[in-house]
Structure 1
Amino acid sequence: MRNEDRSLRKKAYEEINKYQKIVESDPHRQDYHLMPPVGLMNDPNGLIHWQGKYHVFFQWMPFKTGHGAKFWGHYTSRDLIHWIWEPIALTPSEWYEQNGCYSGSAVNHGGKLYVFYTGNVKNEKNERETYQCSAVSEDGVHFEKKGVVIHLPEGYSAHFRDPKVWKHEDKWYMVIGAQTQGDLGCAVLYTSDDLMVWELKGEISSSKENDYLGYMWECPDLFQLDGVDVFMFSPQGLEPQGMLYNNVHQSGYVIGELEYDRTVLHHGPFREIDRGFEFYAPQTTLDEDGRRILIGWMGVPDQDEEKQPTRSYKWIHNMTIPRELRVKKGKIHQSPVEELKKMRRNLFEKEDIHIKDESMHLSELDGDVMEVFLKFGTTDSCNCFEIDLFDYVKLSYQNETKEITIRRKTFDNKSTETRSCQISSLETLQMFIDQSSIELFVNDGAEVFTFRIFPDKKNAAIHFSSSGSVTFDIWKWDLIGYTYQTSEEAMRDANMNP
């Protein structure tokens, strides 16, 4: 371990120890979402199921609640509920990454865990350099850096990052999010026989002036699911179009077929994968049970981060819950992973609830860490159905327009903001509610809204109301949350006694 690497690790662990009590005293600290021990968390990195464990690496700035020279933090779990904080995976200690070990991915090769990431460098004029780098581990915890494997090719700006690597037949492939010198977003494909020497194949897809899809494509992910190829990415630079593209930056996917020999992805239209306020940079992995698992960052870069109240407690942002993906009728559906049912306690259920032109409060639903599931009868006689959660956020369904809308207070409480989409009908709503977030799955995950909430903790009530008549069944469980422990290796790294 080089001296610079050792020094950075020591400083990061000192930040954890210094602010641990402050961080843990935050009433908005989550119960079942991965969070940074201190500082800022953003993109999930290197998501992989390897040797019986789920590994979640992530972008981490330990020294402040803003962005900067990122580390790779690291959690592992065998069941997606009990999590272990592992030693820091990567620090920005080398010349080719001195301004940050940016996002990337992980693969298994020859029984070893390989990670690929972007090394970010800025000179005294704030001009950017970018390098695609690799590191390898025999135990999944300690990594040996192999250095730069790809330099910036001609024709692209230095916004060239976030390598996602996978194997197809007998070759390795890497897709990188990029920006052309003409300021158009695109995805660039490389191939390799040994994970060290990479050959540029070309662009599989790109934003075009007559079909504009942003000036930069971040965090690409390409995988096969239910017989089709899915390309997921986060385009920057899309302007709002009605219900679409209302965050500062978006995340979504296209479905089609990648012709590997011709380096072209034939695909359909771009769809947002999450309709909420805070969702970005999702990454997926195929686990040993054959499931395609997704975890996303519950945040958006440059979008009101400075207004989030957790910053005064020395931390900001968290991950989504893990979700299983399926393709149904040409569209991705998302479901909370089955393991989360193990967190359920204290079931409350009530069938055939009927309200008409009235408001209703069920005291059994009061709380702040729970799962709530609603199954609706016919809504033909209901003009509008609304759920008021904690006097902070309102969920409404307009039957005439088939629109579902989330309306919440802004983080500074000075106004309200909305996100909406259209659905064919209202069938089911599943809400995962934590101390400061809601993940809403509509119609068994055909649409999903992910967002943070910071209500007055004295108000734990949920109210239902309708204009017209609506009938539904309801199930509610309290959730016990994740359990955390620090690995012995991490404690030794932090000079603590295990």
Structure 2
Amino acid sequence: MESLPVRVGCLYAGDRTDEQIAAHEWCRAHTQAATPLSMETIVDQDLSAYDLLWWHRDEPVEASVASAASAGADTLRSYIENGGGMLLSLQALAAVTSVGIDPIEPDVTGYEQIDHPTGFAPKAVHSEHPIFEGFIDWFYTLPDREHHPVARYESIVPAHGQILGSAIHASDLLPGHKEIISWSIGDGSVYGVGARIEFADVTAGGYRIERDQFVRNLLTTLGGERRPALTDRPVTETELTRLRSALENDHQRPSYHLTPPANWINDPNGIIHYNGEYHVFYQYNPAGPFHGTIHWGHARSEDLCTWTDEPVALSPDPDGPDRDGCWSGCAVIDTDGTPTIIYTGGRGSEQLPCLATATDETLNSWEKDPENPIISSVPTEPEILGTADWSAEFRDHNVWREDGWWYHLIGAGLQDGGGVVLLYRGETLSEWEYVGPLLSGDYEVPHTVWECPEYLDLGEKDLLHISNYRDVRYVVGEIDLTAPAFTVENEGLLDYGSFYAPQSTTTPDERVLMWGWIKENRPVEAQWNAGWSGALSIPRELSIGSDGDLIQRPAREIADLREELLVARTDTLEAGDRQQLPLTGNAYEIGLTLSRSDSESVFELGCFESPALSEQTRIRWRDDDVVVDRSNATHDPAPETDAVRLPVDQNDELSLRIFIDGSILTVFANDRQCLTTRVYPTRSDADGVSVAVREGTMSIEASAWTLASSYDR
């Protein structure tokens, strides 16, 4: 095999092990030059003769080795900043702090025994990275072995590095085993591969071939001048746009729903209107499209239609109470006009409230309170649920000001079963006194936690909603902040589908708008391969009707997304009639007013239809429910395809507003009930739409618009 056109400085500390010697011999055989360099004397070395440096270490980084690395850190850093490349492999990755690369070291180091082949899965946004050249998908670099050296980020992520790939064990993806990392430092780059490239006693065959290809790619890229600029740690507008554009050809990805540029999103957080703009923060994992290592992502908009991606707003502090995640919370304007975030910080088995204040008008920079956590312990009455993960299930925050006091809701679980919403109050946002449980329930369900509680003043009535792992339940009634208590007069579900953990804000004209997390209904592997996971719902406007029930409508601003009116007609269809609507592209809104001849009539809207109808989703109105039939929605057997039911009032008229966007389907019925679900057509041309009557006679008044993207205008 032809030698690589790079000159490598092979770093080591102390005596070289058999593994290091084997790696250096491999390097000498595959490169133009490979020279051993002692870390103990690196401070005196002229490194300009090397295209890259490679530190391969199979043993732990002991204190003496870390000290040697620290002594040479300035020399190494200068070399990298001036355009050099550096590869840290196996347990050398644990020296990133000593070398001055990153303040956060891998949290898993040592050895592991694995009785099956292992390798790597590139992240979708980095699948075209040159270190993965020659690999179509996942690849395997090691057979089963007893003593694998390893260094990886598992429950944490590096402060500055980006994850390029994670581990695979046999046929299982382990996205949380983050083992391929890159850093950009000045004009240079550092790559870390914390496992699965070993050289001593590795048998020949496919594993060795793929290992050789991978290591050659690493060395050639680091030693060359064509290192990719794409980062999933974007800060500038150019970087943010480049990351979002990397996934733009996915026909299943939403275009007008709020999404992160890539990777993972879950709960909406800190929704606030400030200085003429809406700011939506959200739970975000920069490491990839899976749950974990939660940060706060950020997007802003002046009109709720066009959204601008912003840099990450909150990141875990390696020395703080949020080391393991900055979890859900809210944002308010303090009495002095300062935007303030109250969020859940996680560290070890503790999750406690933390506070951060904005330090600029763009809300891109936040300063955490040095006294965090602002509530240091959970209440003793009632007894809060403890689990294997948390000493107390005590999280998520809703804060508002009323009658000179700040009030604060926190979600929790009860040790004896059921969920509970706890009420606090304070004169400031950093000092709180416990008032008591505001509302509890689900006693028959053990290990239930009422997550993401939110209180909303809707005028004559109050609304409180909670998320209980399964549904988002709401109660309408009256709140008593003194007792405390909530008198329930009416209750129901906010959504009958994949809608969770909503949060709201009040507009300048006093309307209440709510966003929720739209979950995925497909396996983790599919989300990994797509490069993104989750979206936020379109904002919905909440109010109370004259009957005391909850009204839910799409926010009126969504109408500004309409591009072209393609359907505007009224028809009467008989049983067996079917009409094709001139809609394509799966980014549209449909309005329907239906009148049926009798309760036996059946209406059907077909969407996500392929030309031969081998893929199609049917929205069917029969009797007193609307059913989304996904049984033929996709040729892919992995996503969930069960039917989803939305109950509606039993009468002969029905009003529907339906929003289709990529893989999201949302139905608003009679301005009351909502259903949000996911559909994953395999074919990109599965975007046809039709109306049909299966039984009886139906009068159909229909209108339909294509909707513009929220990101490319």
TM normalised by structure 2 equals: 0.61
CA distance in 1, matches of 2:513, 2:471: 20
Quote the residue 2:259 is aligned against: 35
Quote the residue 1:77 is aligned against: 301
Quote the residue 1:120 is aligned against: 346
SS state of the match for residue 151, structure 1? coil
Quote the residue 1:55 is aligned against: 279
Quote the residue 2:551 is aligned against: 333
Which letter does structure 1 place at the counterpart of 2:630? R
CA radius of gyration, larger in: 2
Q: Could you say if the C-alpha distance between residues 228 and 7 of structure 1 is closer, same or farther in structure 2, counting changes exceeding 3 Å?
A: same
SS state of the match for residue 642, structure 2? strand
Which letter does structure 2 place at the counterpart of 1:143? W
Quick check: 1:394–1:408 contact (8 Å CA) kept in 2? yes
Quick check: 2:495–2:673 contact (8 Å CA) kept in 1? yes
Quote the residue 1:352 is aligned against: 570
Quote the residue 1:171 is aligned against: 405
Root mean square deviation, CA, Å? 2.4
1:319 aligns with 2:554: no
Q: Could you say if the C-alpha distance between residues 379 and 117 of structure 1 is closer, same or farther in structure 2, counting changes exceeding 3 Å?
A: farther
Q: Could you say if the C-alpha distance between residues 190 and 379 of structure 1 is closer, same or farther in structure 2, counting changes exceeding 3 Å?
A: farther
Quick check: 2:630–2:643 contact (8 Å CA) kept in 1? yes
CA distance in 2, matches of 1:395, 1:6: 42
CA distance in 1, matches of 2:472, 2:398: 16
1:436 aligns with 2:653: no
Which letter does structure 2 place at the counterpart of 1:407? D
Q: Could you say if the C-alpha distance between residues 366 and 148 of structure 1 is closer, same or farther in structure 2, counting changes exceeding 3 Å?
A: same
Shift of 1:175: 0.3
Post-superposition Cα deviations, 1:310-363, rounded to whole Å, max 9, x if no partner, equal 431311111101111111222222111111111112213343311111131324
Pick one of 159, 169, 174 that aligns with 1:8: 159
CA distance in 2, matches of 1:55, 1:350: 35
Alignment of structure 1 residues 201-350 onto 2, 5 Å: 201-207=435-441, 209=443, 215-236=448-469, 249-276=470-497, 278-299=498-519, 304-306=522-524, 309-328=526-545, 329-350=547-568
Shift of 1:393: 1.7
Post-superposition Cα deviations, 1:102-134, rounded to whole Å, max 9, x if no partner, equal 000000011110000001122xxxxx2111100
Post-superposition Cα deviations, 1:16-64, rounded to whole Å, max 9, x if no partner, equal 5696554233222221011121211000000111221111000001112
CA distance in 2, matches of 1:310, 1:255: 37
SS state of the match for residue 311, structure 1? helix
CA distance in 2, matches of 1:432, 1:256: 30
SS state of the match for residue 268, structure 1? strand
Quick check: 1:130–1:151 contact (8 Å CA) kept in 2? no
SS state of the match for residue 339, structure 1? helix
Q: Which structure dedicates a bigger proportion of its chain to strand?
A: 1
CA distance in 2, matches of 1:260, 1:267: 14
Which letter does structure 2 place at the counterpart of 1:451? T
Quick check: 1:207–1:214 contact (8 Å CA) kept in 2? no
Quick check: 1:259–1:265 contact (8 Å CA) kept in 2? yes
Quote the residue 1:245 is aligned against: none
CA distance in 1, matches of 2:702, 2:376: 55
CA distance in 2, matches of 1:203, 1:403: 36
Quote the residue 2:648 is aligned against: 423
1:137 aligns with 2:358: yes
1:452 aligns with 2:452: no
Higher relative contact order (CA 8 A, sep 6+): 1
Quote the residue 2:312 is aligned against: 88
Q: Could you say if the C-alpha distance between residues 27 and 331 of structure 1 is closer, same or farther in structure 2, counting changes exceeding 3 Å?
A: same
Which letter does structure 1 place at the counterpart of 2:407? Y
CA distance in 2, matches of 1:484, 1:135: 32
Report % sequence identity: 29
Pick one of 594, 606, 612 that aligns with 1:388: 606
Shift of 1:75: 0.5
Q: Could you say if the C-alpha distance between residues 26 and 310 of structure 1 is closer, same or farther in structure 2, counting changes exceeding 3 Å?
A: farther
Quick check: 2:353–2:375 contact (8 Å CA) kept in 1? yes
More deviation, 88-97/149-158:
149-158
Which letter does structure 1 place at the counterpart of 2:355? S
CA distance in 2, matches of 1:386, 1:356: 12
Quick check: 1:83–1:483 contact (8 Å CA) kept in 2? yes
Which letter does structure 2 place at the counterpart of 1:418? A
SS state of the match for residue 591, structure 2? strand
Quick check: 1:207–1:215 contact (8 Å CA) kept in 2? no
Alignment of structure 1 residues 394-409 onto 2, 5 Å: 394-399=618-623, 402-409=624-631
Quick check: 2:415–2:447 contact (8 Å CA) kept in 1? no
Q: Could you say if the C-alpha distance between residues 380 and 284 of structure 1 is closer, same or farther in structure 2, counting changes exceeding 3 Å?
A: same
Quick check: 1:351–1:473 contact (8 Å CA) kept in 2? yes
SS state of the match for residue 86, structure 1? strand
Which letter does structure 2 place at the counterpart of 1:468? G
Quick check: 1:381–1:469 contact (8 Å CA) kept in 2? no
Quick check: 2:567–2:582 contact (8 Å CA) kept in 1? no
SS state of the match for residue 247, structure 2? helix
SS state of the match for residue 340, structure 1? helix
Shift of 1:422: 2.6
CA distance in 1, matches of 2:588, 2:424: 44
Pick one of 406, 414, 424 that aligns with 1:180: 414
More deviation, 339-348/196-205:
339-348
Pick one of 325, 329, 332 that aligns with 1:107: 332
SS state of the match for residue 159, structure 2? helix
Number of residue equivalences: 459
Q: Could you say if the C-alpha distance between residues 368 and 471 of structure 1 is closer, same or farther in structure 2, counting changes exceeding 3 Å?
A: same
Shift of 1:76: 0.8
Post-superposition Cα deviations, 1:269-307, rounded to whole Å, max 9, x if no partner, equal 54110012x11001011121101000000017xx64426
Quick check: 1:118–1:133 contact (8 Å CA) kept in 2? yes
CA distance in 1, matches of 2:569, 2:248: 38
Quick check: 2:261–2:309 contact (8 Å CA) kept in 1? no
SS state of the match for residue 135, structure 1? strand
Q: Could you say if the C-alpha distance between residues 214 and 279 of structure 1 is closer, same or farther in structure 2, counting changes exceeding 3 Å?
A: farther
CA distance in 1, matches of 2:347, 2:577: 57
Quote the residue 2:15 is aligned against: none
Post-superposition Cα deviations, 1:393-426, rounded to whole Å, max 9, x if no partner, equal 2111113xx2221121477536741221332234
Quick check: 1:285–1:294 contact (8 Å CA) kept in 2? yes
Q: Could you say if the C-alpha distance between residues 439 and 6 of structure 1 is closer, same or farther in structure 2, counting changes exceeding 3 Å?
A: closer
Quote the residue 1:491 is aligned against: none
CA distance in 2, matches of 1:15, 1:434: 24
More deviation, 260-269/5-14:
5-14
Shift of 1:483: 2.8
CA distance in 2, matches of 1:370, 1:11: 35
